[in-house]
Chain A
Amino acid sequence: MTDDKDMFICRCEEVTLREIEQAIDEGFVTVKDVKRVTRAGMGLCQGRTCSKTIARIIAQRTGRPLEDVLPKSYRFPVRPEKMLAVENEEFNDAKNS
């Protein structure tokens, strides 16, 4: 039987709520730390879907305000890029902004 704890928070990497809560309880209390220890947000969408949810779980569990936990910047590239696109120089500095 599955319960809420087995729910996937990060669908790309199939990381469950249980795994995320466990990481928080071990002292990993930033989105970046949780991501690195659980792989949540490391998949194809690079956390665009789950980063905010993870921030909310951290805020709830640690009692810190959500604004303090929300990630401030996204890593480049902000979306998947074909290798070919880069080779052809379609890819330019504007994408970094």
Chain B
Amino acid sequence: MTNSADVLVIGGGIIGLSCGYYLSKRGKRAFVLDKGGFADGASGACDDMILFQSKKPGINLELTFESLELYKSLLTEMEDDLGFANLGGMVLIENQQELEIMEEFVAQQRSYGLDVEVIDKREMLKKQPFLSDHIIASTYSKMDSQVDPFSVMRGFERKGALYGMKVFRRNGVVGIERLGTGDFQVATEDGNLYQAPIIVNAGGTWAGQIGTMVGANIPITPKRGQIIVTERVPPIGETNLWSAKYLVTKLRSDVVVDLNEDERTMGLSLAFSRSSGDTYLVGSTREFVGFDKNTTIGGIRAIINQTLKYLPKLRDINFIRAMAGLRPSTPDGKMLLGEHAGIEGFYTAAGHEGDGIALAPITGKLLASIVCQDQVDHRLDELSPNRFATD
């Protein structure tokens, strides 16, 4: 049996579903093919943040602003609260060196239009009374927001269906061929065939494997993140939290940051957010272990020790679950978005690393706009997959 569509989206994580949604809204008949079940990839094992504070001025920050606006309109379009919340966020600063670097970074972000500031210890403790005494200051931005990735994905799927989008799960793509007509023919594990003139590769961490099927070079690698989920608890302070340490190592490769064993070997840093289910999501690690998405005792223990270092009073709280996801990471920290030169009709929308939830709506909308050949947006040149074509 062969199924024909206008566009085949390969990968039904939050990015593939967003692409499918915005394409079908533009009148394209879109099929989304996924090898797993609902949210089996990174989009089902991650935090939930639309985070501004971690971003350097540039395209990612700019797109996060646009994505937040799109999320606000999706709340109405989808007639669902999507677990959207705007609690604001604080980045915790532990020493003078971090303070200086964060002050400089915050100044850059402010000049770019982000509403963020450094606050002193007293202010900080007002917002977060349970923080450990060793933290000397923090940043604060009321912009940082969040959504429930599961609700967003289901929303894209439900509303997409009204525009004719179809999702085929447990249907892993194993081969792509170009037919005489110029259309692509895609074969899946269980022998189904699908045809369309356009393919969107939204394979997340696995996007490189899909690229190989058409000879495209896509240098996306998996960066594992482990997180734990607590039981339901009353609010712990007003905001979500991160530690500055990891950010500082990313911002300033020239300074020596004092890292402990877990921070060095597992890329551990604090991410602490209140979920729409009134639990807390606490992470996380950044590990290069290939495509292994298991949780480890060492990882869970490291996350808990770290949490208690920043929030010692949480010792009596239960954690009920641990999970791990593979962030699709790129060499320059930017996604791949656009058509591949020399492979007409083959587009990639992948490589969002730790920002795929935040950037999902804007990615889908821009991808649909590229596929529909709207006016060229030159800002997107730096996201073109062709920057890696010659590697």
Chain A residues with CB under 8 Å of chain B are 13, 26-28, 30, 32-33, 36-37, 39, 42-44, 46, 75-77, 80-84, 86-87, 89, 91-93, 96
Contact = CB atoms under 8 A, between A and B. Distances in A.
Given A36-B38, A83-B317, 4 more contacts: A37-B150, A81-B319, A82-B316, A86-B304
Contacts of B300: 86
B167 A27 contact: yes
A96 B195 CA distance: 44
B38 A77 contact: no
A46 B321 contact: yes
B316 A77 contact: no
B318 interface: yes
B158 A93 contact: no
B322 interface: yes
Contacts of B315: 82-84, 87
A42 B150 CA distance: 12
A81 B318 contact: yes
B317 A82 contact: yes
6 contacts: A36-B37, A36-B39, A75-B322, A83-B314, A84-B315, A86-B304
Contact of A83 (B154, B167, B307, B321): B307
Given A27-B167, A36-B150, A37-B150, A83 B319 contact: yes
Interface in B31-53: 37-39, 44
A29 to B, nearest CB: 9
B321 A82 contact: no
Given A36-B38, A37-B150, A83 B304 contact: yes
Contacts, number: 79
Interface size of B as a range? 20 to 34
B322 A87 contact: no
Contacts of B157: 26
A37 B317 CA distance: 26
B42 to A, nearest CB: 13
Interface of B: 37-39, 44, 150, 154, 157-158, 167, 169, 231-232, 277, 295, 297, 300-301, 304-305, 307-308, 314-323
Nearest to A95: B297
Contacts of A93: 297
A20 to B, nearest CB: 14
Nearest to A88: B315
Contacts of A96: 297
A87 B308 contact: yes
A80 B38 contact: no
A77 B320 contact: yes
> Which 5 A-B residue pairings sit nearest by Cβ, starting from the closest?
A80-B318, A84-B315, A33-B38, A86-B304, A33-B37
B321 A75 contact: yes
Contacts of B307: 83
Nearest to B311: A83
Contacts of B154: 37
A64 B300 CA distance: 37
Contacts of A39: 150, 277
A4 B108 CA distance: 58
A83 B231 CA distance: 11
Contact of B232 (A27, A43, A92): A43
A27 to B, nearest CB: 7
A86 B298 CA distance: 10
B231 A80 contact: yes
A84 B316 contact: yes
A13 to B, nearest CB: 7
Contacts of B318: 44, 80-83
Contacts of B167: 27
Contacts of A46: 320-321
Contacts of B319: 77, 80-81, 83, 86
A33 B316 CA distance: 31
A94 to B, nearest CB: 10
Contact of A37 (B38, B297, B314): B38
A44 B38 contact: no
B157 to A, nearest CB: 8
A91 B300 CA distance: 11
B312 to A, nearest CB: 10
